[in-house]
Chain A
Amino acid sequence: MNGCDGRGRDAYRVLRDWLGSVPPQLLEHRREEAELFFRKVGITFSVYGNAEAEERLIPFDIIPRILSGREWSHLARGLEQRVKALNLFLKDIYGARDILRAGIVPPELVFRNPYYRPQMNGLSLRNGVYVQVAGIDVVRVDDQDFYVLEDNLRTPSGVSYMLENREVMMRLFPDLMAMQRIRPIENYVDELLGTLKSVAPEASSTVPTVVLLTPGSLNSAYYEHSFLADRMGVELVEGRDLFVRDEVVYMRTTEGPKRVDVIYSRIDDDFLDPLVFRPDSALGVPGLIAAYRAGNVAIANAPGTGVADDKAIYSYVPEIIRFYMGEEPILKNVPTWRCREKEALAYVIDHLHELVVKQVNGSGGYGMIVGPHATEEAREQFRHLVRANPDNYIAQPTLALSTSPVFTESGLAPRHVDLRPFVLTGRDGVRLVPGGLTRVALTPGSLVVNSSQGGGTKDTWVLSE
């Protein structure tokens, strides 16, 4: 809330005044109301590997995180640039491979990437959009710049929390919200549906049939799948609801089979089609990829986008932007050491106590170590892991992430936050709603914001000016 040099951010002025003017019990009362709302509505989240806690609430902090309109505009331009470049990158590596021939990105990072899908080679997608929904995680380390922490180009989640958080805040703080001009985000679902319809195959009917493909109610993000399908007015399907006949995808309805034109897939590529990917997958649809290659169905995001969001490729994104866009990247990357490079490996081993080291293909905050917070024993163990498989690791400095105040038992206290804006790309270009999901680390001093490891969320306000 207060900038790094102690200057209070203008964006927080109204909030700060309001907090000063209300009785202390009010915040506690509102916090309880928020929790009641989430629990009643059943917005829960299941954590893998925790037998008892089948369903937990993701903690919601009632203090909003606020950005000025100017800050957002800058961020939005950077996000649009980055996602455009990544889409061009994907089109290139599954096509002409100019960037590989130019020696910008090492080929083995692409071809030996577990998310590289040879089935996508030579497949020309309508308007070259591979990533229709991107979640780009950004952080601020000083007053000026947003840094991109990570790109999520496969099945980024969290947008339902973004929308529900706003709804809760509007119920809890109508007075406070009326005091400022906060840009709305409720149109996200419309934009999403518009984006999905825009990538429908040519053979579709005038109103394309869109479905949302989910792994099912046992998946940790299931709530979001049903939330989005419901709000978009599309069927929420599982693999077993679909079948392919003559390379056309149909869903089983009470009136018989109905043709499907666009699939918003929230299933990992590996499980999409047992005839092509993992044969033991019960979540997918046999023949789906054949229908896709025949151009009879669109899948968003396309299979094979994971090759562009792993942490090794991440370190090349600034060059990727320069190569395709001919521009300097608007958003900075966090400095990254690639352990596959000898000198970097040596540096990382020596400086592990100062660094955050992550698996190249990890997610959810697993498979990583925060050097300064770990015991020497844990660090030594991790050094072994890295030496054994250096290609699998990258390291970044610990960032002095910006903090945002959270409401704790002892009053307001700072906690580290990040931001995940959701970037939509359709046939007609990029669509963005202002803000995104703010994730907050709830343990004092912790840098891990992932909900699967106890992180929470906040509403994000982008002001009109």
Chain B
Amino acid sequence: MLSRDADSLYWLSRYVERAENTARILDVAYRMASMPISYNGIDSNEWESALITAGGVEQFKTAYGDVTPERVIDFLAFSEANSSSIQCCFDTARQNARSVRGALTSEMWEAINSAWLDLRRFKTQTMRVEDLPRFLNLVKEASLRYDGSALRTMLRNDAYWFSRLGLYIERADNTARVLDVKYHVLLPQDAEVGGGIDYYQWAAILRSVSALVSYQWVYHQNLRPWLVADLLILREEMPRSLAACYAALSRHLDDIAHRYGTSGIAQRQARAAHARLANRTIEDIFQHGLHEFLQDFIAENNRLGFAITNQYLC
């Protein structure tokens, strides 16, 4: 297929995933912030954490100044100046979709187009902070519709695989950031456990990736910070984990290589990263340092994105 079309599909998926991830981040911030101070810990600022996870703190501070809920919502959900705001994500996604419309099924196009039309109707002036959950639900549903229609209606060919690559690169990046922002409460087994305050932080992390109940199914015990990290980094059965993302990335890159009859750097990189994750334990990671591990991972994930772009998309 045309390189530019593959590029559009890749980024279309990335932006839809990014919009959904940002919506989840905002959702957690909203829930946490509406809890009593004693639950969160005096030093915590959930809205600031949301900013850090989603990225763009410097840009925010320049444009808005101090952190307030309304401003963070505006910046992350609607700001036209923030290219990763939910609004901009959908604008860009739709532009990409429009330029590669022939490769999308009509269900996929309609999912993006109607989501974009729905989201345009929300404007901060008329939206109160209490309306936020409804808006975020709309975003999550839009993303589900798009993803679902892709899964259910796309032919399993290179167009499909390139759009999945975009989704997983973005998802891996997001999970790593969510963990990294809270790494200071994700303590290893032998450290002193933070106690009741941190419990809500761990729960928040899991909620932001819809994993609160899944945790129970995997570990059958109360929340333990090192197990939260284990679930989201190493467990392939958890769809948003780094391991699951890399299992998918490696598989789809192999599908492409098989279809085209030739393999390259992207395939090797993905396979190596997947193998590394498969062979590690959470104890290893804590020994290395969780924060360092996550930072390295984010950088490697970016490098894989570049490798895919160089090999196929330009």
List the interface of chain A (C-beta within 8 A of B). Answer: 40-42, 216-217, 222, 226, 229-230, 235-238, 240-241, 251-255
Beyond known contacts A40-B113, A222-B98, A253-B2: 15 more, CB 8 A cutoff:
A42-B98, A42-B113, A216-B99, A217-B99, A226-B98, A226-B101, A235-B1, A235-B2, A236-B2, A241-B4, A251-B2, A252-B4, A253-B1, A254-B2, A254-B313
Say whether, besides A40-B113, A226-B101, A254 and B106 are in contact (CB < 8 Å): no
In B1-42, the 8 Å CB interface with A consists of: 1-6
- Is B195 an interface position by the 8 A CB rule? no
Q: B277-291, CB under 8 A of A: which get 1 and which 0?
A: 000000000000000
Q: Which 10 A-B pairs have the closest CB atoms?
A: A230-B102, A254-B312, A252-B3, A217-B99, A226-B101, A254-B6, A42-B113, A217-B98, A255-B260, A235-B2
- CB of B2 within 8 A of CB of A252, answer yes
List the A side residues contacting B6 at CB < 8 Å: 254
- Interface residue ranges, B against A (CB under 8 Å): 1-6, 95, 98-99, 101-102, 106, 109-110, 113-114, 158, 162, 256, 260, 312-314
Quote the shortest CB–CB distance from A313 to chain B (angstroms).
36
Cα separation A349 to B18 with both chains bound (whole Å): 63
Contacts of A251 in B (CB 8 A): 2
| B260 contact from A41, A236, A254, Cβ within 8 A | A254
Chain A neighbourhood of B2, CB < 8 A: 235-237, 241, 251-254
Q: Assuming the A-B contacts A41-B110, A42-B113, A254-B260, are A230 and B4 also in contact, with contact meaning beta carbons closer than 8 angstroms in the complex? A: no
Q: Which residues of A contact B114 (CB under 8 A)?
A: 40
B102→A236 contact, CB < 8 A: yes
B3 touches A253 (CB 8 A): yes
With A217-B98, A230-B102, A235-B2 known as contacts, the answer to whether A254 contacts B113 (CB < 8 A) is: no
Task: For residue A243, give the distance in angstroms from its CB to the closest CB of chain B.
Answer: 12
B109 A42 Cβ-Cβ under 8 A:
yes
Q: Is the CB of B109 within 8 A of A229?
A: no
Bound form: Cα–Cα A157–B5 in Å: 24
* A229, B102: Cβ atoms closer than 8 Å: yes
**B residues near A236, Cβ cutoff 8 Å:** 2, 102
Q: Note all chain A residues with C-beta closer than 8 A to B110.
A: 40-41
Q: Which residues of the partner chain A approach B101 to less than 8 Å between Cβ atoms? A: 226, 230
User: Is B4's CB under 8 angstroms from A226's CB?
Assistant: no
Q: How far is the CA of A462 from the CA of B1 in the complex (A)?
A: 39
Tell me the bound Cα distance from A174 to B3 in angstroms: 42
How far, in Å, is A351 (CB) from chain B's closest CB? 47
In the bound complex, CA of A41 to CA of B95 (Å)? 15
Say yes or no: A41 contacts B106, CB within 8 Å.
yes
State in angstroms the CA–CA spacing of A42 and B107 once bound together.
Answer: 12
Write the nearest CB–CB distance from A7 to chain B, whole angstroms. Answer: 44
Q: Report Cα–Cα, A237/B4, bound state, in Å.
A: 9
- B1 contacts across to A, CB distance below 8 A: 235, 253-254
Nearest Cβ distance between residue B107 and chain A, in whole angstroms?
A: 11
* B158 and A254 contacting across the interface, CB-CB below 8 Å: yes
Nearest residue (CB) in B for A235 is B2
Task: Tell me the minimal C-beta distance from A387 to chain B in angstroms.
Answer: 46
Q: What are 16 residue pairs bridging A and B, where the CB atoms are less than 8 Å apart in the complex?
A: A40-B113, A40-B114, A41-B106, A41-B109, A42-B109, A226-B101, A226-B102, A235-B1, A235-B2, A236-B2, A252-B4, A252-B314, A254-B1, A254-B256, A254-B260, A254-B312
